[in-house]
Amino acid sequence: MCRFRILFFLLFALVSFWEACGEGLDRGGPVSGKARSEQQMDHEERLRSLFYEHEQKLEKLAGICEARGYGELAEKARALTHMPESGEKLFALILPPEVQDAELAQIGSAKKSLRSSKAGSGEKKERSAAKKTFSEQFGSRLQKVKLEASDHGFRLAQDAMDAGHTAFAFDLLMKVLALNPDHPAARKLLGYELHEGYWLSPFEVRQARTKIYHPRYGWIPRKGAERYEQGERFVNGRWISEEEDARIHRDIERGWTVETPHFTVVTNHSLPAAVKIGEQVEVLYRVWKQLFLRYFATDAQMKALFAGKPSSGGAAQGMGAGTGGKHRIVFFRNRKEYVDYLAPRYPSVANSCGFYVIEDRTSYFFAGEEFDRATMLHEVTHQLFSELRRTSPQITERPNFWMVEGIAIHMESLHDEGRYHVVGGFDTQRLLAARIRFVKDGFYVPLRELCAMNTQEFQTHPQMVRLYSQSAGLMQFLLHSSDGRYRDAVADILREIYSGQSVMNTLPKHLGRSFEELDEEYREFISRNAEELSQWEMD
């Protein structure tokens, strides 16, 4: 499988970019990373204890169910208390598009009937309460506890954000939505609107007014699903055959174009291929924004977002809002067309599986056996960092380049586990390579030396492949060690790097640790459970 990439940062020297305007970079007097981490941990512990009160209520309900022989009901209550913690992984809840609450689903379409059904019903409810089965009573009580806990959890998330603990605020937000997927404020914060019983992005609301969403063909005309499934296509205001549709779109310049909330995908492969690519990068977008809100939003915007207040900038309008137009992806039918199209400008493209071109503001990939989803996630991560705030061309000349590649490698691990989108983990292939090369091969470039490298020094290093593995390990360490104590600082550091303001001492400044202290922390982190590596070897 092809793993070599044309690194888009080689193209920076050819491009004239905006200079970083510095918006949001001055956050007042600096607080040492060490002091900030200790304060954060103390505050997070207090918030955790407050949230735990509601978990105890759920456990009490589960105990009552067990005592009465209702094991399934007990399990239902306990499932709400066993949400994954952000330890070695980041968890983003996979939210159902359908509204779960029956009454909320009718808001806007049946307000009158809701009002009439409630009028004069108090006495009737009192009479029927005694007749409810235990299961019904339990359901009512569980619903009440869930709503109380989700409301309280959201207030705690706002408290965390007010204190500057962005990462922990989102951890709490995931708990809120696990308890109540219909929490209005949490849904609004993530960029959703309530529309005819569904939670949709503003883009999807606009589409839903005249179209329906098909899992293979994307947004198509209402009442058109059956015709699409029979092989017809609606193009330029008329229905045509599938064969004619393919002929029209066989060249990439006239390829199928699929719009998603944040991407435009163009392909000459097939309409379903573009829809699938669009769905995959939308997941990446959502998880990326959750992890790096601090990267593209100011403190004021972040606090306004959690407070539900209007503010300038896309961030404050919801996590679903973009700030610089849609991100463009071109997906070719095969490798040959990909190479033929790009080789005149980038001769070494034949050695790649896909890459992001800054001057085009476009990521390019191709279909076939060599298509690599990890490469797509990697390159689109570069694209998001480059396009969601103004980026300086000086990035290639500044130190700390390893973090640019490290974070893109980290996002390659995005996958689903049950109810969650997940990033990171000790069980990923990239981290396994980092552990083997550190523990068994003894390879490690000290951070003082690694952070001094700019783009050219990193990419021409005689041990470049091993540097990539080490970068993957270091990024896992910074984002997930010690319950994510450095996670907010990583976003701040990346903002400085992309703004062209990165300096040799950027990491110690933000993390409150010397290079040597960080080396030692990483050594302890990456060497855990070293006995697991006995069966593995690296080239």
**266: domain CATH number?**
3.40.30
pLDDT, residue 521, reads: 96
Residue 473 in domain: yes
Q: Is the pLDDT of residue 157 over 60?
A: yes
Tell me the DSSP string of 110-161.
Answer: SHHHHHHHHTT-HHHHHHHHTT--HHHHHHHHHHHHHHHHHHHHHHHHHHHH
Confidence of residue 23 (pLDDT cuts 50, 70, 90): very low
Range in 81-95, 212-226, 391-405 with the lowest mean pLDDT: 81-95
Among 132, 166, 200, which residue terminates a domain? Answer: 200
The stretch 409-426 carries a mean pLDDT of 93
Q: Is the pLDDT of residue 110 over 80?
A: no
Q: Is the pLDDT of residue 13 over 90?
A: no
| In a shared domain, residues 306 and 449 | no
Distance CA 523, CA 517 (A): 10
Distance CA 376, CA 392 (A): 23
Fill in the DSSP letter of residue 98. Answer: B
pLDDT, residue 149, reads: 87
| In a shared domain, residues 257 and 292 | yes
What percent of the chain has a predicted confidence (pLDDT) above 70? 80
Q: Where are the alpha helices (DSSP H) in 314-428?
A: 335-342, 373-387, 401-411
pLDDT, residue 123, reads: 47
Counted residue by residue, the chain has a size of 539
Residue 462 in domain: yes
pLDDT in tens, 496-525: 999 999 999 999 999 999 999 999 999 999
Average per-residue pLDDT for the chain:
83
Sheet holding 263-267, edge to edge: 256-259, 263-267, 327-332, 362-366, 355-357
pLDDT, residue 34, reads: 45
What percent of the chain has a predicted confidence (pLDDT) above 90? 56
| In a shared domain, residues 270 and 398 | no
* Position with higher pLDDT, 482 vs 355: 355
Confidence of residue 81 (pLDDT cuts 50, 70, 90): low
Among 200, 215, 240, which residue terminates a domain? Answer: 200
Beta pairing class for 362-366 and 415-417: unpaired
Range in 172-176, 238-242, 269-273, 326-330 with the lowest mean pLDDT: 172-176
Confidence of residue 117 (pLDDT cuts 50, 70, 90): very low
Beta bridge partners of 199: 194
> What domain count does the chain have?
3
Scan for tokens 């396009």, then name that residue. 387
* Position with higher pLDDT, 226 vs 533: 226
| In a shared domain, residues 361 and 395 | no
pLDDT, residue 141, reads: 83
Q: Is the pLDDT of residue 366 over 60?
A: yes
pTM of the model: 0.84
Q: How many CB atoms lie within 10 A of CB 367?
A: 19
| In a shared domain, residues 430 and 514 | yes
- 3-state SS, residue 271: helix
Residue 258 in domain: yes
Helices 515-526 and 464-480, axial angle in degrees (round to 10): 90
Which residues constitute the domain of residue 93?
Answer: 36-200
Among 358, 389, 420, which residue terminates a domain? Answer: 389
Residue 46 in domain: yes
* Position with higher pLDDT, 92 vs 48: 92
pLDDT, residue 396, reads: 84
pLDDT in tens, 438-483: 998 999 999 999 999 999 999 999 999 999 999 999 999 999 988 7
The stretch 527-532 carries a mean pLDDT of 82
The stretch 157-163 carries a mean pLDDT of 91
Exposure b/e, 138-150, CB count within 10 A at least 16 = b:
beeebeebbeebb
Residue 113 in domain: yes
| In a shared domain, residues 435 and 383 | no
Distance CA 220, CA 211 (A): 5
Sign of CA dihedral 229, 234, 240, 243: negative
| In a shared domain, residues 398 and 362 | no
Q: How many CB atoms lie within 10 A of CB 534?
A: 9
pLDDT, residue 85, reads: 64
Residue 28 in domain: no
Q: Is the pLDDT of residue 35 over 50?
A: no
Residue 470 in domain: yes
pLDDT in tens, 42-78: 666 666 666 677 777 888 888 888 888 878 878 877 7
* Position with higher pLDDT, 16 vs 456: 456
The stretch 320-346 carries a mean pLDDT of 86
The stretch 112-136 carries a mean pLDDT of 51
| In a shared domain, residues 231 and 344 | yes
- 3-state SS, residue 311: coil
| In a shared domain, residues 161 and 256 | no
| In a shared domain, residues 372 and 421 | no
Distance CA 509, CA 341 (A): 45
Confidence of residue 17 (pLDDT cuts 50, 70, 90): very low
Residue 210 in domain: no
pLDDT, residue 62, reads: 80
| In a shared domain, residues 418 and 394 | yes
| In a shared domain, residues 399 and 491 | yes
User: What's phi and psi for 140, nearest 5 deg?
Assistant: -65, -45
